[in-house]
Chains A and B, each alone.
Chain A
Amino acid sequence: QSALTQPRSVSGSPGQSVTISCTGTSSDVGGYNYASWYQQYPGKAPKLMVYEVTKRPSGVPDRFSGSKSGNTASLTISGLQAEDEADYYCCSYAGSYTWVFGGGTKLTVL
């Protein structure tokens, strides 16, 4: 069970869109529509932003959207705002009641 692969960092200017990828295998991301995304500010607990690939919890802005193609899940943040600067982690169900996280991506708003 290896960690999912995310870019270490991405950046964008206010108002732009950025996409964070999360690559796994057919045993996790590719095998289930159970990818989720978490936002984490320094010193704080992660917060659920997207689940089941595309669903947003109540209260999460619709600027955050998820998608999946093959073994790669993606989180797109449109209309980038300064408050979006944070670390983002993907997660996927990996079968047999186990889960695997990505290594995390630091989003910088320029």
Chain B
Amino acid sequence: QVQLQESGPGLVKPSETLSLTCTVSGGSVSSGSYYWTWIRQPPGKGLEWIGCISYSGTTYYNPSLKSRVTISADTSKNQFSLKLSSVTAADTAVYYCARSTVVKFDPWGQGTLVTVSS
């Protein structure tokens, strides 16, 4: 079955760019019908959809984050990535990657905590 695993720095300085990668196994990021998604959860708070990339490379972003977010895919490595620029403490969160369709997010990666602090 499809499995996803997030990786990247756990600590990022304010004003810098957060970069995370999601490695997909058991499936292909270039397979049709799926979107490859990033979702985050600040400590003790709810889930927030960040954005996604389609199998064809089209990207869609949360309007509230759109100016700072870039999602890309590397089909040769079967990975997709998140870049979030100009981070502040408010961007401290557990970041999840997930496979999605219009109707569901499933499965999810285990999540990775990113702390924004100097």
Contacts and interface: CB of A to CB of B under 8 A. Distances in A.
Contacts of A97: 35, 52, 60
B46 A102 contact: yes
Interface of A: 1, 3, 34, 36, 38, 44-48, 51-52, 57, 89, 91, 93, 96-104
29 contacts: A1-B64, A3-B46, A34-B102, A34-B103, A36-B104, A45-B108, A45-B109, A46-B105, A48-B105, A48-B107, A51-B104, A51-B106, A57-B104, A57-B106, A89-B46, A89-B47, A93-B102, A93-B103, A96-B60, A97-B35, A97-B52, A97-B60, A98-B49, A98-B63, A99-B49, A101-B39, A101-B49, A103-B46, A104-B46
Interface of B: 35, 39, 45-49, 52, 60, 62-64, 96, 100, 102-111
